[in-house]
Amino acid sequence: MIPVKNICVVGAGNMGHQIALSAALAGYKVKCMDINPEILNNAKNFVEKYLPERVAKGKLSEDAANAARANLSFTDNLKIAAEDADFVIEAVLEKLELKRKIFAELDQICPPHALLTTNSSYIVSSKIADVTSRPDKVCNMHFFNPALVMKLVEVVKGPHSSDETVETTMEVARKMGKIPVLLKKEIYGFLVNRILSAIRNEALYLYDMGVASYEDIDTAVVNALGHPLGPFRLMDLTGIDLSYYVSMERYQETGNPAHKPSPIIVEKFLKKEWGRKTGKGFYDYSN
């Protein structure tokens, strides 16, 4: 396996900064990059609030918190973030062309030995790897939201990915305290999201058809199926904008009208009612 000491996380949004902090807590030197100053500022504020809270609750020692803080830095410059990286985790929007652009830039910046992984929820790395000169060093490393809490990481071996790349990615996940599962071949949506998508799509269909309210659908799923969150609460958590982008990417790829976003998802997206991140989605989080 490739020795990993320095990690670059591209994207400092909700997923990105939590992945970065998880890696810093595990002892890696981490640089988290984003071009949006507001997102970077929110990420820094999150870290400065999260670590003292964990110490106060007795979940983290003062020394561990100080070490994590020292391990983690933020920048708006991709070259600074990636020039000494052994391992990169890309966590930007679910837009294929954006990811391809970033991976092409990373390939030019990163040392030749560096592995390039994508945290994409749906886009397989074979759609990205060809823009690099190191396709054997590219794979999916999919975390779940919230990344500091959720243990599972899906590692997807593309036809281009070397065994060494996959083994190193699995080991990085383990060192971060995660439980990695290996997908031996690429498939749209991977494991968990294929199952969740079936539930979410059916829930949206029932709502769009006026069969039941989103509150009652959530209540049914929580109290009959034992899920901690109903599908609409979960969409609010992960971001309704993400649901929109994922569906649009799939529709543009297949041309199948069945893959278009649900009418209520389009409506929420256009209103910028994207869930917890904006204070309102299906539910109101203004308070």
Residues classed as catalytic: 121, 142, 154, 193
Of 228, 275, 231, 266, whose CA–CA distance to 247 is shortest? Answer: 266
Of 250, 270, 274, whose CA–CA distance to 260 is shortest? Answer: 250
Alpha-carbon span 122 to 222, nearest angstrom: 25
Q: For the stretch 1-16, what's the b/e string if a residue is b when 16 or more beta carbons lie within 10 angstroms of its beta carbon?
A: ebebebbbbbbbbbbb
